Structure 1
Amino acid sequence: MQAVIMAGGKGTRLRSITNDDIPKPMAHIAGKPILHWQVECLRKNGITDIIMVIEHLGEKIETFFGNGSNFGVNITYYWEVQPLGTAGALYDLQNQIMDNYFLLVFGDVIFDIHLARMEQYHIAKAALGTLFVHPNSHPYDSDLVVTDDNEKIIRFDSKNNKRSYWYNNCVNAGFYILSKEICKLVKPGIKTDLEKDVLMPLVAQKQAVYAYASPEYIKDVGTPERISTASHEIENGYVAARNLTKKQKCIFIDRDGTLNQHKGLISHEDDFVLESSAIEAIKRINASGYLAIVITNQPVVARGLCDVLDIENIHNKMKTLLGREGVLLDDVLFCPHHPDKGYPEENPVYKVSCKCRKPQTGMIETCVEKFNIDITQSWIIGDTTIDIQTGKNAGLYTALVLTGEAGKDGKYEVKSDLVCGNILEAVEQILKIEEI
């Protein structure tokens, strides 16, 4: 792929750092300009043909990078005579983009991503556009992306909307693979917003615009506070460790009785109440470098007590409540099946044996493939012997919590590696073991 980096903008919020002597993308993070980090990451991914769109103080960028040969890449420049927004330059770049698609990067973002995975996803979906999306710690004031079951984007949920509903923590990170055809949708010389003027109309027309979800590191560093945070996360190795070329550690979490209060079969959002220690527990996981992924059996669907959309709404409530407190889950998977038949209201579509219902390991295997998880360094936390047997079957370390059913379900004769009072205590003990 070629990469186009939008490296213009005055960076008003960074004036205390740039002093308006350098353009925003040349602000330093952990000893190097933001653009330098970007170029290094692109080169590491085999992307060596880069077009930089520059304007305000753009000569400082040209002087630093030249033609890119000293950085192992080839850089050409497009000067915007007047600011054209986040997409206005694309019309004029059509003749410089050689392939059918290209990577679009904004110059105030730090990222470390396994780009081949995202590119393969884009190709497999035959997408016009692929947006990198992820959960973040402040979804309540972020623009959200809403997708269908096939990860196709069906609408955008503006941060300005009054959200009197539960929502999925799925945020557009501002990092794209775009078909060259999209350039033709931009009018020449007109200031154009990529999301508002290009992507939203495509989504409204039900065109092939998809969301690529990943837990890898990508952060807008457009304020001094964010630069400080990103510098620390680069220096302590957190940024590089999240790249999916590297094996990931994960804490898999059961839902009912572990993350939320045990209330039997939950089929309505009103019955979902977080355990008192859940928020702090997820916060500790988020800061640790482990992924936090919920895997849960939800036979209420098979029993006909609710449908899949009801479960997704309950999970959106879970993500909303956590997001309000600045914590997040990297993924949530559930099994709607149940093998036993005979309930009067049951849904026969889901009355099947499957590989995803715990203690089967299908949900874990899906995550291992998706996130390159190292089973030998990962855990499962749950309140039943089913959860512990699932962990044993998958090769995980196991922690039983004494909330919910507290291991008294009696399904399996199995012993966990840890027994803890609640999810927070379990996380604390896991992280202490990690330190040894």
Structure 2
Amino acid sequence: MVNPTQGVIAVIVAGGLATRMASATAAVPKVLLAIAGKSVLEHQLQQFRAAGITRVIVLAGHLAGAIELAAARASDRSFHVEVRTEAQAMGSGGCLRQLHDLNGPAVVVFGDVMFDVDLGALLETHTRQRATITAVVHPNTHPHDSDLVDVDADHRVTALHPKPHPPGSRLRNLVTAGLFVIEPAFIEQIPSVLEAPKLDLVQDLITAALARGQRVQAWQTSAYLHDMGTPQRYAQAQAAWAQGIPARRRRPRATVFVDRDGTLNRHVGYLRRPEQLELLPGVAQAIARLNQLDVQVVVVTNQPVLARGELDEAGLAQIHAELETQLGRAGAYVDRIYHCPHHPDAGFEGERPELKCACACRKPRTGMIDAATSDLHVDRAASVLIGDTERDLDAALNAGLRPVLVSANAHALAVARGVQWFPDLARACLALFPNPQPNPQPNPS
């Protein structure tokens, strides 16, 4: 099997002035700030070395001399760290002009991002999808001040929404996380210094790549990625490392699978428009608490409105964007949303015949849960499925999850079947995960 990191170089973008860090970086560049006894640079180099990458280029500017000394200490016969210093501030995109000798893919990371990611899997996916650039993405607790992307079913980026977002925006909580894979063709398209002295990698260069029709892919992960570019987020990164969260993310984790209608949002029959979506009281706060406890949250929802022809995939995407927007306002996020578009019964006017079938994903079957287990690190023995119907209960049992029912309508069913019941999601989560000492925000970048 070919090593996906063979011949790949790594690039650390570390030329910024660190204005968000105030006095913390007056004498020390961000990339040399310490976390768990090592500088951010050392942590990043450790990730590259472990992945089998042997050459790293640091694009420096502010306090470049200190970075050069650190790079020299990190280099040896089998691992070379080179520093290239920009003559003027060129931004996170403009500085990539210094990679004029790039002859293969490069992993690019911002110097204020702490990460613990399977770089081999990232590179394998990038190569298989023949992307010009792949952006690592994830949900976070503050999508309102993050660069967000839209993706299609093949994970191709279809739109970029730079921060700040217009009031009333309805957007998916998929954030560019400061880690990318780029090809030489991406570098070749960067305008000259005379045309554009300073460029942002995301807002300028990825936007331009999309406009040119180049293949921009998103690689969504639940691995540890953390922008520590502000004093608050720097403190969160220190706490996360002290509590072992990055290492924990490499192992199967407790996951809350949750139904949508009647559990997260008010049941209105067949929900067909985003304006109909109303989160139930306490839901956003409950999910924010699970985020703080580093418990994954995965939505699994039957959506027969697609098979009935009453809603299309674009409309469902808008509904889920509304769900993620409402959660994001409260500093909460779900890790993934899976839906079943099928329905077994045919014979309705306007239905979509291709979706009228007995599938493996419609609850109480386990297809959505199986997909999540494949995509994420899920410890089924420690996980639950919270819903409000017998389909949810049986799906949990079929998948080896602990079933939990919520809502007044489900009380009699819970008693009859002998399963746990709570009036709502908020009280269920508080009882199921009572740890009084939350971990720091796991995905604040």
TM-score where L is the length of structure 1? 0.91
Amino acid at match of 1:45: A
1:432 positional shift: 3.6
Other-structure match for 1:311: 316
1:72 positional shift: 7.3
Matched, 1:214 2:216: no
Distance in 1 (CA, whole Å) between partners of 2:314 and 2:418 is 35
Other-structure match for 1:38: 44
Other-structure match for 2:57: 51
Matched, 1:364 2:369: yes
Cα 1:431/1:409, change in 2 over 3 Å: closer
Other-structure match for 1:123: 127
1:34 positional shift: 1.6
Cα 1:342/1:386, change in 2 over 3 Å: same
Other-structure match for 1:26: 32
Cα 1:165/1:196, change in 2 over 3 Å: closer
Q: Secondary structure at the match of 1:38?
A: helix
Distance in 2 (CA, whole Å) between partners of 1:33 and 1:123 is 31
Q: Secondary structure at the match of 1:300?
A: helix
Other-structure match for 1:152: 156
Whether the 8 Å contact between 1:155 and 1:203 is mirrored in structure 2 is yes
1:66 positional shift: 0.8
Whether the 8 Å contact between 1:337 and 1:351 is mirrored in structure 2 is yes
Distance in 1 (CA, whole Å) between partners of 2:165 and 2:425 is 34
Whether the 8 Å contact between 2:270 and 2:305 is mirrored in structure 1 is yes
Distance in 1 (CA, whole Å) between partners of 2:81 and 2:73 is 5
Distance in 2 (CA, whole Å) between partners of 1:14 and 1:310 is 41
Unaligned 5+ residue runs, structure 2? 1-7, 438-445
Other-structure match for 2:430: 428
1:383 positional shift: 0.9
Matched, 1:109 2:116: no
Q: Secondary structure at the match of 1:92?
A: helix
1:396 positional shift: 1.0
Whether the 8 Å contact between 2:309 and 2:351 is mirrored in structure 1 is yes
1:319 positional shift: 0.7
Matched, 1:85 2:91: yes
Other-structure match for 1:283: 288
Cα 1:393/1:192, change in 2 over 3 Å: same
**In angstroms, what is the RMSD of aligned CA positions?**
2.3
Amino acid at match of 1:93: L
Matched, 1:168 2:168: no
Amino acid at match of 2:424: N
Whether the 8 Å contact between 2:268 and 2:276 is mirrored in structure 1 is yes
Other-structure match for 1:249: 254
| 2:328 pairs with one of 323, 329, 339 | 323
Distance in 2 (CA, whole Å) between partners of 1:71 and 1:388 is 58
Distance in 2 (CA, whole Å) between partners of 1:311 and 1:73 is 48
Other-structure match for 1:195: 202
1:262 positional shift: 2.2
Cα 1:26/1:313, change in 2 over 3 Å: same
Whether the 8 Å contact between 2:71 and 2:83 is mirrored in structure 1 is no
1:33 positional shift: 1.8
Matched, 1:17 2:24: yes
Cα 1:57/1:282, change in 2 over 3 Å: same
Whether the 8 Å contact between 1:385 and 1:414 is mirrored in structure 2 is no
Question: Which segment is superposed worse, 326-335 or 349-358?
Answer: 349-358
Distance in 2 (CA, whole Å) between partners of 1:313 and 1:219 is 27
Distance in 1 (CA, whole Å) between partners of 2:344 and 2:414 is 18
Matched, 1:3 2:16: no
Other-structure match for 2:238: 231
Question: Which segment is superposed worse, 29-38 or 213-222?
Answer: 29-38
Whether the 8 Å contact between 1:173 and 1:218 is mirrored in structure 2 is yes
Matched, 1:393 2:398: yes
Other-structure match for 2:443: none
Distance in 1 (CA, whole Å) between partners of 2:411 and 2:273 is 23
Distance in 1 (CA, whole Å) between partners of 2:165 and 2:356 is 39
1:349 positional shift: 2.5
Amino acid at match of 1:202: A
1:110 positional shift: 1.2
Distance in 1 (CA, whole Å) between partners of 2:65 and 2:418 is 65
Amino acid at match of 1:308: E
Cα 1:342/1:25, change in 2 over 3 Å: same
Q: Secondary structure at the match of 1:91?
A: helix
Cα 1:259/1:343, change in 2 over 3 Å: same
Other-structure match for 1:348: 353
Whether the 8 Å contact between 1:389 and 1:414 is mirrored in structure 2 is no
Whether the 8 Å contact between 1:385 and 1:407 is mirrored in structure 2 is no
Other-structure match for 2:212: 205
Distance in 1 (CA, whole Å) between partners of 2:299 and 2:422 is 18
Whether the 8 Å contact between 2:108 and 2:180 is mirrored in structure 1 is yes
1:434 positional shift: 11
Unaligned 5+ residue runs, structure 1? none
Instruction: State the Cα deviation string for residues 237-267 of structure 1 (Å, max 9, x = none).
Output: 1232224xx2232110011111112222222
Distance in 2 (CA, whole Å) between partners of 1:433 and 1:287 is 10
Distance in 1 (CA, whole Å) between partners of 2:15 and 2:77 is 20
Distance in 2 (CA, whole Å) between partners of 1:360 and 1:52 is 50
1:32 positional shift: 2.4
Distance in 1 (CA, whole Å) between partners of 2:412 and 2:305 is 21
Whether the 8 Å contact between 1:4 and 1:51 is mirrored in structure 2 is yes
Whether the 8 Å contact between 1:257 and 1:403 is mirrored in structure 2 is no
Amino acid at match of 1:60: A
Whether the 8 Å contact between 2:285 and 2:330 is mirrored in structure 1 is no
1:30 positional shift: 3.2
Q: Secondary structure at the match of 1:239?
A: helix
Instruction: State the Cα deviation string for residues 27-69 of structure 1 (Å, max 9, x = none).
Output: 2233322212211222233323211112222111121231523
1:371 positional shift: 0.8
Cα 1:66/1:404, change in 2 over 3 Å: farther
Instruction: State the Cα deviation string for residues 403-427 of structure 1 (Å, max 9, x = none).
Output: 45446499xx8543x2222112221
Percent identity among equivalent residues?
34
1:117 positional shift: 1.9
